[in-house]
Each structure stands twice: as structure tokens, then as C-alpha cells.
Amino acid sequence: MQTSLIVAAACCLVALCCQPVGQENRRGYTRPETADTLVVPLQKSIYVSSVETVDSVRYVCLFRDFEEILRIPAGPGSEVSPDSDMHHICEGNLYTEYVTLTETIIKKNGKDFLRYTGREVLRGLWASGDDLYTLGQNRSGEGFALRRNGKILFSSDIGRVWGDLLDVTTAPTGALYHDRHFLSFCYYTADADGSDRKWFVVQDGSRAEVDVPSDVTEIYDIKAIEGQLCMVVRKGFTTAPVLLVDGEPYDLHDAALQIGKDFRLALVENDVAFYGTLYEPRRREYLTGLWRRSGLEQTFPGKDNLVFEEDGFLSSIRFDGQGQVTLSSPWAGTMTLEGTFRHPTCRQGCFEDGRFLFAGTPRDPGASPIVWNDGVITEMAPGLVLTGISLDY
């Protein structure tokens, strides 16, 4: 059973002062009305993955616009894991990963798709037509392989992939991304104690070592963007992030005492940017924002655990540790949900085509899980544990 609740406009617009500063003035953006002479594009469907236990049997399920379209038995003997980090929505399909003592098995919508020797955990997943690109890290910790439909395109016996399918800095495709039509990812090698890291970027199977400045003490994110090598780093004894574009540094203004982590690089209006959350000790407050090379772009107060970006706009999920969830989007403002929820992951948020969605599971097992769609809440059947949300046709 599902119930749609249209949240009152007053609730949706609570704390609009927390909307990114300058957003409206900078772009004057409002959701456009489609002209009568234009063909209205198809709106993407909402895909939700979940796990449900019925009569001691666990199932992995997929919903499209809140109608169940797939239910797969999971657990012993099924070669499907019920763990939430072992299934992934990609282009409207559900991919599951499973490992035996000798093999990695990937299924598509419950049917065998790939099976190859070696025990790997997926760090990247990219579907393109009939092709599936996977980036798997050896479960021993060292070494990885990039594959297309199971065939190795690039591999290394040493090194660790930068990024993860459950890492907010690389979601939703994990460590794999496209730069100027090149399938790309980064990895690093290190000594046994984790020191002396060497960084590499791989594009369409070709590897290049990254020249990291000697005064860089921590790398928050690293990507090739429009052919430029970009990094968000910490330098020396400072705590504020610094943006590096092909080695050229761009410091934040008045940020000597600011502290942050989990910054993510982005391409905004053909310019390199990054976003994340800072802590200002002098003011004893958190600040979430997006910065470009020219300096501060937009900020709003608060510590946001998961921050999503699209076209320079930010949406976020804030989780207070006690189960209270607060959601923010440019269009619906800021809203604190009623009740308490299980700790969300980045896959339970989706910011795409100007829509921000959240799939939340209450801590109360008898309560209904919900999907929040820019202020519109849809309840789903009690007993479902929602694990992911995506938009696709």
C-alpha cells in the first residue's frame, strides 16, 4: 500500500535562508514552463531498491514508480547477497555482486551476467548500452582490474582504487567517471605503512602518473576534468582545502582556520569547482558550500553529512546521529522529517534533472519507509528496508 502526502508549502519552505546564498541572483533560475510549441520530454521514473524478509527468506527488490518490478531471493544457495552494499541500480536495472572462494559473480536482474576468476569487490560500475564496465578491487586489498563485460581492459597487481560505490565523493558510479568521453579513474600505490603514496590517472586504459606537489599532506579528491588534472588538497600545516588545477593553486579566501573533509570536485559552467562542508572554529559553526577558482560561490549554514551537486546547485542530507534527518534542496527549501531513520548512505539520495530525492527507512520496523521527492512524500510498504534510489527512463 502506498500513500502520497503533498507537504504543505509552508513546511517545504521552512528555513529558506539556508538556501545557497546568491543562487537566485546569480542565475535567476526558476523551473521553466515548457512552451506550447515544444515537445514535452519524458520525465524519468523513480527506481528504488530494497531488502525485505518474508517467512525468514530475504529478498532484494526493485521498484519503478513505486510498483514492484523485480524480486530476487537472496542468501545461501542463491549467489545473491542481501547486504545493502552488494546491489546497485544502474540504468533502471538491478546488478548484484557475489563472491565465492574463487569467483566473482555479477547478476543483472537476477540472471547471470558476468562470472570470472578472482575475488573482487566492485569500486566502479558503468553501464553503456549492452556493455557493462566494472572496476573491481581485489579483496586481499592490493590490485584491481577494469573490465568490459568481464574482459580485462586494464589491471594492476598493486594499488588501491580511489573511490567507492558507497563514497559520497564518487557516487553514484563509484570510482568510474567520464572525462571528455574517456572512461577514467584514479588509483594510488603506497608503502606497507601507507606512506609514500604515488598517484595515477587511467583514461581509456592508458595510465599516467600524477605529479603531486611536495607540500601536499592530504588529498581530498582527485579527477581529470576537461583534460585538466584537478585536486582538492590540504597543504603543509594548514587545514583549509586548496584547489589545484594542473598544479596551479587556488586558496579559499579567509580560510586559514577552517577545517573540512569529504570535498568533491565538480564541473560547473565549464569551470572547475568543489563543494563540501567546513567548520569555522572562531565562529563555532559549520558551513556547507561550493567554491570556484574565483573564490567563494555560495554557502549556507549547517553541517551536511551528504552533499549532492548538479549544475552548481546543492542538495543535502543531514543526519544528527539520533535518527533525525533534515533534507535541503534549492526548490523545496529545508525540511526535517518526522520520526527517526536508519543511518542513510549516499545511494539513498539522488539529485538529477533538477529533482532531489531521498529514500529513508524508519528505525521503527512497523513504520512505513518513505521517498521524499522535493517536498512530496510517498510511503512504501512497512517491512521494506530501502537501500538505493535512482532516476532513469
Span 275-308, pLDDT tens digits: 988 887 777 888 888 988 877 677 778 888 899 9
Query: Which residues of the chain have a pLDDT value below 70?
Result: 1-41, 169, 252-259, 261, 296
pLDDT cut 70: percent of the chain above it: 86
Contacts with 373 (C-beta within 8 Å, 6 or more apart), sequence order:
46, 355, 356, 357
What is the reported pLDDT for 26? Answer: 32
Q: Is this structure's pTM higher than 0.85?
A: yes
Asked if residue 227 lies in contact with residue 179, where contact means CB atoms within 8 angstroms, the answer is yes
CA distance 107 to 116: 12
Asked if residue 165 lies in contact with residue 128, where contact means CB atoms within 8 angstroms, the answer is no
CA distance 187 to 251: 25
CA distance 390 to 351: 9
99-146 tens-digit pLDDT: 999 999 999 999 999 999 999 999 999 998 889 999 999 999 899 999
CATH tag, 3-26+44-392: 2.140.10
Asked if residue 134 lies in contact with residue 97, where contact means CB atoms within 8 angstroms, the answer is no
What is the reported pLDDT for 169? Answer: 66
What is the reported pLDDT for 255? Answer: 52
What is the reported pLDDT for 7? Answer: 38
Asked if residue 317 lies in contact with residue 291, where contact means CB atoms within 8 angstroms, the answer is no
> Terminus-to-terminus CA distance in the chain, angstroms?
24
What is the reported pLDDT for 282? Answer: 77
What is the reported pLDDT for 253? Answer: 54
The residue extents of the domains of the chain are 3-26+44-392
